[in-house]
């Protein structure tokens, strides 16, 4: 793991090693500023791995603080092969971990979805196996507003139409089983499953045509969800948009019950691969949040013919109804032949970070990180002088300065003082920062209201109230 600061400079580099093959799948930033890193491990106990293998490959979780120091770790699995895919932190500060399990004794098909719910200290609370008769692979999981999660599953299976059953695992936590109740429309479908905060299935939906449709990513909107991936299907099944060439991007908007609102397809030619999606939101007059647009990131591969232009990262920006507003190819400074985007992140200030690999040939990749200050996206971001989140806060809060930092041209702030006062005007904390976002420790504060003041070296000031839970 490599952590970069807001200027792109390396903060730390950490390795976590087992005695066999281990690979990282997903990370999530925790509420206290640390990380939970999730991967798949073939290692037994030894080196950095503190628990025995459960058999085959297992899911290996390591929680670290903001400096990269380990807080705890956990090995999840059974005698079958498990692989990790996604992890999120839930509203109760615990975690949902999503992965896949092959030929599970308590499963349904050749590959099923495995969901584990943990508390903030890594204690297992529940496990769930989801699947049909065939192959089901979870690709993405996102948190929902009610404390539950939404799963995006690539499904090549048939529905079982049974009620599921519950059996006890080797530990004290029951393993719940839920068979797939919906039917596929074609070779591969988007299978969407909504779980409540306790990990129980609330609803499920299938989307697909007669061909192969592969879900990649999900995003939360102000009134539902956007699901997206690649499609090789013509109009068929419940796919109402056609196919241009190779694979097209296929997006579907759902309400919170999973009902379709609209669907659209987009094409860059050849095989288009969608890797990431961010929804841009802004505040309305009543204080509620409303989605303003959708930013997609991915890359395109040649299929079956000579590619006249090398691969590049691309971005596609849509309005909330899925209508294309603009598209851009992002070449960067070190463009090579193979350019494979892994992820795209939209920062709160409107800047965009793209991360992936770049190589003259496959097998000789370097990591490639690009940060863009995109004016078209920046115009859609809500403007502010100061933001505090989470607010109310329990342990740690983040203070975000809305004024632009210095770009070296003499404009913007180079340093800012952050001052914390109680409501009687007594100063309790003071620190100096060069960053737009700064973490402050609120653990010593008693419950109540406080005032945070920002003073920059360019004589700009801003104030905001902080509530300690």
Residue 41 burial by Cβ neighbours in a 10 Å radius (0-12, 13-18, 19+): buried
Rounded distance between C-alpha atoms, residue 403 and residue 460, angstroms: 8
pLDDT at position 169 over 60? no
DSSP classification of residue 378 = H
Q: What is the pLDDT of residue 402?
A: 83
The number of beta carbons lying within 10 Å of the beta carbon of residue 304 is 7
Task: Classify 35 in phi/psi space as left (phi over 0), alpha (psi -120 to 50) or beta.
Answer: beta
Share of the chain above pLDDT 90, in %: 66
> Mind listing the pLDDT tens digit for each residue in 216-260?
999 999 999 999 999 999 999 999 999 998 899 999 999 999 999
Confidence of residue 394 (pLDDT cuts 50, 70, 90): confident
Burial class (CB in 10 A: 0-12, 13-18, 19+), 112: buried
Averaged pLDDT, 197-212? 96
pLDDT digit string, tens, across residues 335-350: 677 888 999 998 877 7
Q: How much is the pLDDT for 331?
A: 76
Under a CB-based contact definition with an 8 Å cutoff, are residues 178 and 160 in contact? no
With beta carbons less than 8 A apart as the criterion, state whether 429 and 419 touch: yes
Lowest mean pLDDT among 167-171, 246-250, 324-328: 167-171
pLDDT-derived band of residue 403, with 50, 70 and 90 as boundaries?
confident
Helix (H, G, I), strand (E, B) or coil at 24: strand
Cα torsion at 128, 133, 139, 142 (round to 10°)? -40
User: By CB neighbour count within 10 A (0-12 exposed, 13-18 middle, 19+ buried), where does 218 fall?
Assistant: buried
Which of 127, 91, 122, 85 shows the shortest CA–CA distance to 106? 127
Q: What does the block give as tokens for 302?
A: 């040649």
Whether 286 has a pLDDT exceeding 70, the answer reads no
Q: Identify the sign of the CA torsion 388, 289, 277, 126.
A: positive
Number of residues that make up the chain: 469
What DSSP state is assigned to residue 236? B
Label residue 432 by pLDDT band (50, 70, 90).
very high
Asked if the model's pLDDT at residue 162 lies above 60, the reply is: no
User: Could you tell me which residue, 363 or 116, shows the higher pLDDT?
Assistant: 116
How far from 254 is each of 39, 219, 345, CA to CA, in Å?
30, 10, 22
Q: Which two tokens stand for residue 212?
A: 């192969």
The pair of three-digit structure tokens given for residue 275, joined into one six-digit string: 């890797």
The whole-angstrom distance between residue 419's C-alpha and the CA centroid of its chain comes to 33
Put the strands of the sheet holding 365-373 in their side by side order: 338-346, 351-359, 365-373
What pLDDT does 334 receive? 66
CB 157 within 8 A of CB 204: no
- Decide if pLDDT at 103 tops 60: yes
Q: Is the per-residue pLDDT at 459 higher than 80?
A: yes
Is residue 311 over pLDDT 80? no
Predicted confidence at residue 306, as pLDDT, reads 45
Asked which of 1-10, 166-175, 363-372 is least confident by mean pLDDT, the reply is 166-175
* pLDDT of the residue at 167: 46
Instruction: Answer yes or no: are the C-beta atoms of 84 and 60 closer than 8 Å.
Output: yes
Mean pLDDT of the chain: 89
Mean pLDDT of 172-192: 89
Domains by residue range for the chain, with CATH: 2-380 (2.120.10), 386-468 (2.60.40.1930)
The better pLDDT of the pair 244, 384 is held by: 244
450 with 423: CB under 8 angstroms?
Answer: yes
The pLDDT, as a whole number, for residue 76 is 96
pLDDT number for residue 230: 96
Do 37 and 24 form a contact (C-beta atoms < 8 A)?
yes
Q: Which of 117-121, 305-309, 345-349 is the most confident on average?
A: 117-121
pLDDT at 132: 95
d(CA 346, CA 351): 6
Q: Which residue has tokens 């996102």?
A: 142
Structure tokens at 370: 């690009």
pLDDT at 165 over 50: no
Q: 3-state DSSP helix/strand/coil percent for the chain, to nearest 5?
A: 0, 55, 40
Model confidence at 262, pLDDT cuts 50, 70, 90, reads: very high
Q: What is the pLDDT of residues 121-144, one digit of tens each?
A: 999 999 999 999 999 999 999 999
Task: Give the per-residue pLDDT at 285.
Answer: 61
Cβ neighbour number for residue 436 with a 10 Å cutoff: 20
What pLDDT does residue 219 have?
Answer: 96
161, with CB counted inside 10 A (0-12, 13-18, 19+), is exposed
Q: How confident is the model at residue 434 (pLDDT cuts 50, 70, 90)?
A: confident
Query: What confidence tier does 196 reach under pLDDT thresholds 50, 70, 90?
Result: very high
Q: pLDDT at residue 195 above 80?
A: yes
Give percent of the chain with pLDDT exceeding 70.
90
């Amino acid at each position: 793991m490599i952590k970069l600061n807001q200027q792109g400079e390396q903060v730390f580099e950490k390795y976590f090693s087992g005695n066999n093959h281990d690979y990282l799948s997903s990370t999530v930033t925790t509420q206290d500023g640390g990380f939970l890193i999730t991967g798949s491990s073939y290692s037994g106990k030894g080196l950095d791995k503190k628990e025995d293998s459960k058999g085959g490959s297992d899911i290996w979780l390591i929680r670290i603080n903001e400096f990269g120091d380990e807080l705890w770790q956990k090995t999840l699995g059974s005698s079958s092969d498990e692989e990790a895919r996604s992890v999120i932190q839930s509203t109760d500060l615990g975690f949902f971990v999503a992965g896949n399990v092959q030929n599970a004794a308590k499963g349904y098909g050749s590959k099923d979805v495995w969901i584990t719910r943990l508390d903030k200290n890594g204690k297992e609370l529940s496990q769930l196996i989801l699947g049909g008769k065939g192959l089901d692979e979870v690709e993405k999981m996102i948190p929902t507003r009610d404390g539950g999660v939404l799963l995006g599953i690539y499904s090549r299976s048939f529905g079982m139409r049974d009620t599921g059953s519950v059996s006890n695992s080797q530990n004290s936590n029951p393993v719940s089983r839920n068979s797939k109740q919906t039917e596929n429309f074609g070779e591969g479908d988007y299978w969407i499953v909504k779980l409540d905060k306790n990990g129980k299935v609330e609803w499920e939906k299938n989307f697909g045509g007669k061909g192969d449709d592969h879900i990649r990513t999900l995003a939360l909107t102000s009134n539902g969800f956007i699901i997206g991936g690649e499609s090789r299907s013509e109009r068929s099944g419940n796919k109402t948009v056609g196919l241009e060439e190779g694979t097209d991007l296929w997006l579907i908007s759902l309400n919170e019950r999973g009902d379709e609102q609209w669907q659209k397809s987009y094409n860059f030619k050849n095989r288009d691969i969608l890797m990431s999606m961010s929804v841009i939101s802004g505040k309305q007059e009543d204080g509620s949040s409303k989605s303003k647009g959708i930013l997609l990131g991915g890359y395109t591969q040649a299929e079956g013919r000579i590619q006249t232009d090398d691969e590049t990262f691309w971005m596609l920006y849509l309005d909330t109804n899925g209508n294309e507003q603009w598209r851009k190819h992002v070449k960067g400074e070190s463009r090579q032949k193979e350019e494979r985007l892994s992820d795209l992140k939209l920062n709160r200030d409107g800047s965009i970070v793209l991360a992936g690999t770049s190589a003259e040939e496959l097998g000789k990749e370097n990591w490639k990180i690009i940060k863009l200050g995109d004016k078209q996206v920046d115009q859609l971001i809500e403007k502010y002088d100061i933001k505090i989140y989470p607010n109310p806060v329990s342990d740690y809060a983040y203070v975000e300065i809305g004024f632009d930092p210095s770009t070296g041209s003499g404009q913007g702030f180079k340093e800012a003082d952050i001052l914390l006062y109680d409501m009687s005007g007594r100063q309790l904390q003071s620190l100096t920062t060069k960053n737009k976002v700064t973490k402050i420790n609120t653990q010593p504060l008693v419950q109540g209201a406080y005032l945070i003041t920002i003073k920059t070296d360019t004589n700009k000031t801003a104030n905001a109230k902080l509530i300690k839970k």
